[in-house]
Chains A and B, each alone.
Chain A
Amino acid sequence: MPPSAGAIPAARVPGSAPLALRVVCGVVGLLFAAPLGYLAWRTLTGDESLASLYTSGTTLVPLRNTLVLAATTAASTAVVGTALAWLTTRTDLPLRRLWAVLAALPLVFPSFVGALALLAAVGPGGLLDGPLGWVGVSPSRPEGFAGAWLVLTLFTTPYVLLPVSARLAALPPSLEESARLLGRRPAAVFATVVWPQVRGAVGAGSLLVFLYALSDFGVVVLLRYDTLTRVIYTNRALDRDRSVALSLLLAVLALAVVAGERTLARRHPPVEGVRGRRSLQVPLGHWRWPAVALVAAWVAVALGGPLASLGLWAWRGFTGEGSSLASGSGGLGDLVEPAANTVGIGLVTAVVAVAVVLPLAYLSARHRARAGDVATGLVASGFALPGLVIALAVVFWSVQLPPGWGLYQSFVMLVFAYVVHLGVQSLRAAQVAVGSVPRRLDESARMLGAGRARRFATVDLPLMVPGLAAGGGLVLLSTMKELPITLLTAPTGFETLATRIWADAEAVFLAEAALASVVLVALSGALTWLLVVRRSDRLA
């Protein structure tokens, strides 16, 4: 069945983008080029010879490892994330809404503490060592490529899960129902009806995973897999020119990958969706309990594993003699202000990110302008770079501004840095959302005399909300755990839960770090429920 069957392909309107939209997109694209411009300038003025650096074995081996890790993680998360999304939105899986929230939460562990806690749960001598020993299994430490791939897959699957869930929630169930009534088997229904409609969201999510894997440092260092980010971090204060030149390489990689992804996306135009009045529930039949077991096992490892270690550390702190938690200082009361800061800055960043990328989404998804693809690449490059590099780039540009503006180390600068780093998470979701708005509706509204602003508010926006909320939700969760940008560019004295976790973990106050981590996970869970899952459910 061709992808267009039963759904209306989005109209191509090349070259029809209004001038104002093009100008706005030009400005936004320029802002997102800040890190690339910084890296290019530093590389040009540094004395690293690019030709010899990029061809030396000490670059090529980590480069190959980086690409292998990113590609395999993107593939595995695409499979797992799509399966989890389908099970939790489209079936009669018991407690499916609860699973939908829990499965999204592994995203919120800051990678430095998440990987450490996971290792403490499943590694040798860890929490699971005893129980596994009774059944004759002794865990070996996840390490190297396999370990890094496994841990990254566990932590980044929500990047696929959330956009695909949002997409599924916005799709009409009628096609699937018809196919089932015609006797198609579930696998055939998925392949011919569901897949063509979610392909864009799966691609968008996997792209985020790919970019995240390019930039991750915490996991690969702990699991000893030699990637470009390790070289960048290790040399950052010793051989800065080398770190800068390799960061530039990461950014260029991101541009190339996005170019490839856009080309593929053009081959499969987005499929518009009209929401049905009720959501479809595929009966799982005798697969019901095996499916629950699978979902539960995934959540147990990805979320339960790290949480169990964190819980153990926190409990030790409350019960251990002489620990600061037991003596009453550094408890939950101290976390109120960081928690409020975390939620506040996360919400602001999510809203700003969605607002900033929406024009780009229109330009590339509705008007299908090449310039939109270029801007998409620039936005994506911000996520492929380690947060430290983004922070230094924003500092570099900010100190060129007149000090009288008072922007340096202000909230404006902090939110700007966050959006440059994380904006692509909302952009790809926004592109899928814009692409799914039927042009026909917009045309009808126009013929009835509705102006552009009114059409946007009354026709497009309500249809796009699940997708935009999913994208904003990703930005929200990522901002809440973000560390290097917060430490370097936030107003002095501004504390978030992530900075608190880092400070405690650095000083081996594992109990305090664990307590703050548990608060972070709980807050993120509540927000995911309120803003993403409940909303897309209600609107579906």
Chain B
Amino acid sequence: MRVRHTMVGALAVLTLGAPALAGCGSDGDRLVVYSGRTENLIKPLLDDFAAESGIGIDVRYDDSANLALLIDEEGDASPADVFISQSPGAVGYLDAAGRLAALSEDIVGMVPEGDAAADGGWVGVSGRVRTLVYNTDLVDAADLPPSVLDLTAPRYAGQVALAPTNGSFQDFVTVLRDQLGDDEAAAWLEGMAAGDPPTFSDNTAIVEAVSRGEVPMGLVNHYYAFRAKAEDPGLPIENHYFPDGDLGSTLLVTGASVIAGSDLDDEAEQLIEFLLGAEAQRYFSDETFEYPLVAGATVNPALPPFDEISATRVDLDELGGGLERTTEMIDESGLNR
């Protein structure tokens, strides 16, 4: 009867088909990378590295925080050799948990002080700044404030989209706390919450809503607008960079690290060195619209020179430890309700 044929067929898929579905398993000689950057934004580089070095690479992609939890749960059994984190918080979490091996001083020395962990647990390879994306049909550029702190003014009430559960926003709030103290940071959060702003789950959702005109402005990382416009150049959105080292232009770096206990730690360090090399730094600047971190690397001409907008480099060692209090403060401000 028909039913049983279907069952038999499906079971055949289970026993025979499933192993064949496995394109590549991870074996001991291949470098295993857990990447919080999505495939579109890192795979070309990893492919180049594999071709140049002859080292095979297997990559697992997910949200940075989820991968950090995975590595922590795997413990000594972790197959991962390298962790690339999109958010400073996630790599800080693993560093605090003692799950990262110290990088060599040569590698850490390639980036400015402050763009790597003080204990050498991870190193920044590229960066993006916080920014205010706005809809050019709805907002006159002359009306935009010089500082992110001005957004609590009544004229902006409810006009600025936020992503309070997102790692980048949380990192930014931690910077506010670090630079202004908890009281002023809490006052800013409550000022924003008082305007009852629309909130979203992540930067992508904010940029989409601003393009559509649902909300005039949104606090995001700078490169989303570039990517959205690469896909549809007609979108009426622009970035407003808060000038002169305003906290609103804080730099957030992508961190690369070697997992403690990796049996391929030499190869892992080779990969991180590659990510700090000229080719990769140019890739970050040209292809992903990010700020390269290594001294002497050219910044994409579409971006404002780093010195003009951002003086604030996050003290990431502070970030790792203080995030718990940050989310409590965001909760208390009422932004999530």
Residues of A within 8 A of B (CB): 58, 112, 116, 119-120, 123-126, 141, 143, 218, 221-222, 224, 226, 230-231, 233-240, 316-317, 320-325, 337, 340-341, 344-345, 347-348, 350-352, 388, 391-392, 395-396, 399, 403, 408-411, 415, 457, 461-462, 465, 484, 487-488, 491-494, 499, 502-511, 531
Cβ-defined partner of A126 (8 Å) among B3, B212, B224: B212
Interface members, chain B 259-307 (any A CB < 8 Å): none
Residues of B close to A316: CB separation below 8 A: 231-232
Inter-subunit contact A395/B7 (CB<8 Å): no
Whether A461 and B3, one on each chain, are in contact in the complex, defined by CB atoms closer than 8 angstroms, is: yes
Q: Which chain B residues border A112 with CB–CB below 8 Å?
A: 201
Stretch at the interface among B34-42, B123-131, B179-187: B34-42
- Say whether B14 contacts A352, CB under 8 Å: yes
A508 touches B22 (CB 8 A): no
Distance of B59 from chain A, by nearest CB (Å): 7
Q: Using Cβ atoms and an 8 Å threshold, which residues of chain A touch B327?
A: 234-235, 238-239
Q: Would A399 and B74 be within 8 Å (CB), given that A123-B214, A322-B233, A507-B41 are in contact? A: yes
Are A320 and B233 in touch, CB under 8 angstroms? Answer: yes
- Structural contact, A503 and B212, CB atoms closer than 8 A: no
Q: Are the C-beta atoms of A492 and B58 separated by less than 8 Å?
A: yes
Is A344 a contact of B233 with CB atoms below 8 Å? Answer: no
User: Looking at B14, B25, B198, B201, which has the most chain A CB atoms within 10 Å of its CB?
Assistant: B201
- Confirm or deny: B331 has a beta carbon within 8 angstroms of a beta carbon on chain A: yes
**Chain A residues in 8 Å Cβ range of B207:** 508
Contacts of B201 in A (CB 8 A): 112, 218, 221-222
Whether A492 lies near B21 (C-beta < 8 A) is no
Question: Of B65, B74, B79, which one neighbours A236 at CB under 8 angstroms?
Answer: B65
Q: Could you tell me the distance between the alpha carbons of A73 and B165 in the complex, rounded to whole angstroms? A: 24
Whether B208 contacts A510 by the Cβ 8 Å rule is yes
A-chain residues with CB within 8 Å of residue B326 when the two chains form the complex: 238
In the complex, what residues of B have CB within 8 A of residue A504's CB? 38, 40
Task: Say yes or no: A411-B70 contact (C-beta < 8 A), given A124-B214, A508-B204.
Answer: no
A386 to chain B, nearest CB (A): 11
Instruction: Decide if A411 touches B69 in the complex (CB within 8 Å).
Output: no
Q: A residues within 8 A CB of B331?
A: 58, 231, 234
B32, B40, B70: the one contacting A392 at CB < 8 Å is: B70
Once A491-B22, A493-B23, A510-B228 are accepted as A-B contacts, the answer to whether A239 and B324 lie under 8 Å apart by CB is yes
A337 to B22, CA, bound (A): 11
In the complex, what residues of A have CB within 8 A of residue B227's CB? 507-509
B142 within 8 A of A: no
Is the C-beta of B13 less than 8 angstroms from some C-beta in chain A? yes
Q: Contact partner of A488 among B66, B75, B205, CB < 8 A?
A: B66
Whether the Cβ atoms of B40 and A509 lie closer than 8 Å is yes
> Which residue of B is nearest A393, CB measured?
B73
Decide yes or no: A344 and B21 within 8 Å by CB, A222-B205, A510-B231 being known contacts. yes
Kindly provide the distance from the CB of B5 to the nearest chain A CB, expressed in whole angstroms: 12
Q: How far is the CB of B170 from chain A (nearest CB, A)?
A: 8
Closest 3 CB pairs of A and B: A125-B213, A237-B65, A125-B212
Cβ of B49: which chain A residues have Cβ within 8 Å of it?
Answer: none
Of chain A, the residue at the smallest CB distance from B94 is: A237
Is the CB–CB distance between A507 and B38 below 8 Å?
yes
| With known contacts A239-B324, A504-B40, A351–B69 Cβ distance under 8 A | no
A123, B212: Cβ atoms under 8 Å? Answer: yes
Q: Contact flags (1/0) for B111-154 with A, using CB distance below 8 Å?
A: 00000000000000000000000000000000000000000000
Q: Give the residues in chain A near B4, CB-CB below 8 Å.
A: 457
Which residues of B have CB within 8 Å of A493? 23-24, 58-59
In the complex, B90 has a CB within 8 A of chain A:
yes
Q: How far is the CA of A494 from the CA of B165 in the complex (A)?
A: 28
- Counting CB contacts under 8 A, is B209 at the interface? yes
In the complex formed, the residue of B with least CB distance to A487 is B62
In angstroms, Cα B67 to Cα A218, docked, is 19
Closest to A348 in B: B14
Q: How far is the CB of A122 from chain B (nearest CB, A)?
A: 11
Complex: how many Å from CA A40 to CA B331?
26
Per the bound structure, the CA–CA distance linking A506 and B202 in Å amounts to 9
The answer, among B10, B22, B74, for a CB contact under 8 Å with A494, is B22
**In the assembled complex, B337 has its CB within 8 A of some CB on chain A:** yes
- Are A492 and B165 within 8 A (Cβ)? no
* Number of inter-chain CB pairs below 8 Å: 203
Task: Collect the chain A residues with CB atoms within 8 Å of residue B25's CB.
Answer: 410, 491-492
Which residues from chain B contact A457 at a C-beta distance below 8 Å? 4
* Interface pair A224/B21, CB less than 8 Å apart: no
Q: Is the CB of B208 within 8 A of A233?
A: no
* Residues of B contacting A502 in the complex (Cβ-Cβ under 8 angstroms): 38
Known contacts A116-B205, A344-B21, A510-B231; is-contact A392 B69 (Cβ 8 Å): yes
Q: Are A237 and B89 in contact (CB under 8 A)?
A: yes
A325-B231, A510-B204 known; 19 other A-B pairs, CB under 8 Å?
Answer: A123-B214, A124-B212, A222-B205, A226-B337, A234-B327, A237-B89, A238-B89, A238-B93, A320-B233, A323-B231, A352-B14, A392-B69, A399-B74, A488-B66, A492-B26, A493-B24, A503-B40, A504-B40, A508-B203
Whether B60 contacts A221 by the Cβ 8 Å rule is: no
Q: Which residues of chain B are within 8 angstroms of A488 by Cβ–Cβ distance? A: 60, 62, 66-67, 70
Q: Which residue of A lies closest to B68 (CB)?
A: A237
Within 8 A of A (CB), among B48-81: 58-63, 65-70, 73-75, 77, 79
Residues of A within 8 A of B39 (CB): 503
Residue-by-residue, is B213-247 near A (CB-CB < 8 Å gives 1, otherwise 0)? 11000000000100110111110000000000000
- Judging by beta carbons under 8 Å apart, are B324 and A238 in contact? yes
Q: Are B3 and A465 in contact (CB under 8 A)?
A: yes
- Are B231 and A494 in contact, CB atoms less than 8 angstroms apart? no
Nearest CB of B to A318, in Å: 10
CA distance A237 to B70 in the complex (A): 10
What's the nearest-Cβ distance from chain A to residue B252, in Å?
A: 15
Complex interface: chain A residues within 8 A of B23 (CB): 337, 491, 493-494
Distance, CA A141 to CA B161, complexed state (A): 13
A492 touches B10 (CB 8 A): no
A-B pairs with beta carbons under 8 Å apart, 10 shown: A141-B214, A221-B200, A224-B198, A224-B199, A235-B324, A238-B324, A238-B326, A408-B79, A491-B25, A503-B38
| A442: min CB distance to chain B, Å | 18
Interface residues of B in 1-24 (CB under 8 A from A): 1, 3-4, 6-7, 10-11, 13-14, 17-19, 21-24
A505/B204 in contact, CB under 8 A: yes
Least Cβ–Cβ distance between A402 and chain B, in angstroms: 11
Q: State how many angstroms separate the Cβ of A502 from the closest Cβ of chain B.
A: 8
Docked-complex contact A487 and B60, CB < 8 angstroms: yes
Instruction: Name the CB-closest residue of B to A389.
Output: B69
A237 to B86, CA, bound (A): 14
B323 sits at the interface (CB 8 A): yes
Q: Is the CB of B66 within 8 A of A487?
A: yes
Smallest Cβ-Cβ distance to A217: which chain B residue: B201
Cα(A505)–Cα(B90), bound, Å: 20
Once the chains bind, are A503 and B21 in contact (CB under 8 Å)?
no
Q: Establish whether residues B89 and A341, one from each chain, have CB atoms under 8 Å apart when the complex forms.
A: no
B90 → chain A closest CB, angstroms? 6
Identify the interface centre among A340, A348, A506: most chain B CB within 10 Å of its CB.
A506
Residues of A within 8 A of B198 (CB): 141, 143, 224
**Given the complex, which residues of A lie within 8 Å of B213, measured CB to CB?**
124-125
Question: Which of chain A's residues has its CB closest to B14's CB?
Answer: A348
Q: How far is the CB of A485 from chain B (nearest CB, A)?
A: 11
For A141, the chain B residues whose CB sits under 8 A away are: 198, 214
Contact residues in A for B38 (Cβ distance below 8 Å): 502-504, 506-507
Contacts of A484 in B (CB 8 A): 62, 66
Shortest Cβ gap from A536 to chain B (Å):
12
A351–B212 CB distance below 8 A: no
Q: Which residue from A120, A239, A320 sits with its C-beta under 8 Å from B208?
A: A120
Contact assessment for A494 and B209 in the assembled complex, using a CB-CB cutoff below 8 Å: no
